[in-house]
Amino acid sequence: MQKTLLATAVAVALGVPAVAAAQNAELEQIRRQIQELKENYEARIKALENQLKSAESSARKAEQSATEARAAAQKAETTAGRAEQSAGKAEDSAVQAAQRPVSQNALNPAVSLILNGTWGRYGNDPSAQITGFHGSGASEMLPRGGSLGESELFISGNIDPRFRGAFLAALSPEGVEIEEAFVETLSIGKGATLKGGRFFSGMGYWNSVHPHAWDFTDASLVQRAFLGKNYGDDGVQLRWVAPLPVFVQLGAELGRGKDFAGMGEVERNTNGKSSEAFFAKVGSDIGVSNSWQLGASHLRQRTTNTGVPMFDYDDLTGLVNVFAGRQRITGADFVYKWAPEGNPRYRNFRFVAEYYQRKLDGDFTFDTATLALTDPANAKQSGWFAQGAYQFMPYWRVGLRYDRLSAGTVNLNANAANLTAPSFNPTRWTTMVDWNPSEFSRIRLQYARDRSRQDIATGETISDNIVFLQYIYSLGAHGAHRF
């Protein structure tokens, strides 16, 4: 028994340290777990605190931005109110200004003077005109030698917020001619413009362009033969530009018919209209550097009972012959422009081509002084030209133009026994070079190989070499020209 007690005591003595060691290890593990939990919670709390600070900062910035936005909106609203009030006052002032008398210079209209002189050299007498198409004096020909030419006095300006006025007088050694004097609207809206007075017609392309802005010194053969230098009338014109991605313009004109296009002035003592014109134009851009425009036009006219000279038949016969009836002229025109990157300052090119057809239907009286033989007559003639002008470097341009007319068919019926209508087709080549030191001045040298006349006795073509030296100077404010 003593042995048993001894063994038990020894076992207890040996097991107590082991149990204590095990308990110490467990306590150490618990301490480590507690420490890890404390570190994790501290890190999480710190992250939450940082997130809270960031959210509070964003909220403060958002509140500040909202405050600034409210202040800006209030300022914009105040500015808009003031602008509306100012616009109302401006409109009231404009209406009041339109209703009260104004001094002569109050509206400060644009005034310009174009000096346009020439020196001309012809191989033949320039008084004779285009054989089979045009009588002497029906269209102005530039004279031989030095000439003061035709200067232009141009005055234009807004009359009030609703109307604009323009006045153009051609000044020459022979006298003064009012070429244009019209009023047109500014505020009809919907793309419409109404013009009334005297103005150049919208027929074709070059007809409504003043001569100082032409690419050549003189007009084309078909322009001179069918419309004259610039065909215009006294009446009204309505133009409308369609709200489309491309340029589309439609126009109509009603006039008194003061000129029978291509054949001279008409003395009228009648009421109502005697001429009608219609035109349409469409155009657009091709990229940045190219643009084009295509046009069509139509003119209808009637003479008085006394009639007008027909073509150059008075020159051919030495007698007085007249035509009484109606005329219809139909035309087509095309314009192409090029300028690198849309900047024409250093280089640019313009190509223009026009075609016209003229039809006459009425009565022709041969030798009004003696025979006075009257019989129905009709005619159909046509013509065209193509030209190009190229600015190859700053200040310098060159140009080339070709003209051709077709005699077509002329039926004089019984009067064919007294007069044989020429079946001649006039042509002409023209070249030019001009120097443009500024937008206000131009000096041009032009040469033409002209074959527009025929020797009726022999049937041979009369060739001529024509040279012009021209100067154009612009004084004062002058508006930009159209496309």
DSSP, residue by residue, 109-135: -EEEEEEEEEEEE-SS-TTS--TTT--
E strand intervals along 216-307 = 232-241, 247-255, 275-286, 290-302
Whether 299 and 203 have beta carbons less than 8 Å apart is answered as yes
β-pairing verdict for 145-147 and 192-200: unpaired
pLDDT top residue among 446 and 51: 446
> Given a cut of 70, is residue 72 above it in pLDDT?
no
| pLDDT of 34 | 80
Domains of the chain: 2-99 (no CATH), 113-476 (2.40.160.10)
| pLDDT of 273 | 74
Spatial neighbors of 445 by CB under 8 A, at least 6 apart, are 432, 433, 434, 467, 468, 469, 470
Q: What proportion of the chain, given as a percentage, has pLDDT over 90?
A: 51
E strand intervals along 186-274 = 192-200, 232-241, 247-255
pLDDT digit string, tens, across residues 84-141: 555 555 444 444 444 444 444 445 788 999 999 999 999 888 777 789 988 765 556 7
Residue keyed to tokens 């404010």? 477
Q: How many residues in total does the chain contain?
A: 483
- The C-alpha angle 393, 396, 400, rounded to 5 degrees, equals 110
Task: Report how far residue 185's alpha carbon sits from residue 195's, in angstroms, rounded to the nearest whole number.
Answer: 7
Q: What proportion of the chain, given as a percentage, has pLDDT over 70?
A: 83
Q: What are the distances in angstroms from CA 192 to CA 164, 209, 235, 456, 482?
A: 14, 21, 17, 51, 17
pLDDT top residue among 135 and 312: 312
pLDDT digit string, tens, across residues 40-62: 767 777 777 777 777 777 767 76
Task: Report how far residue 225's alpha carbon sits from residue 133's, in angstroms, rounded to the nearest whole number.
Answer: 6
Give the containing element (helix H, strand E) for 50.
Answer: helix 2-99
| pLDDT of 269 | 66
What global pTM score does this model have? Answer: 0.75
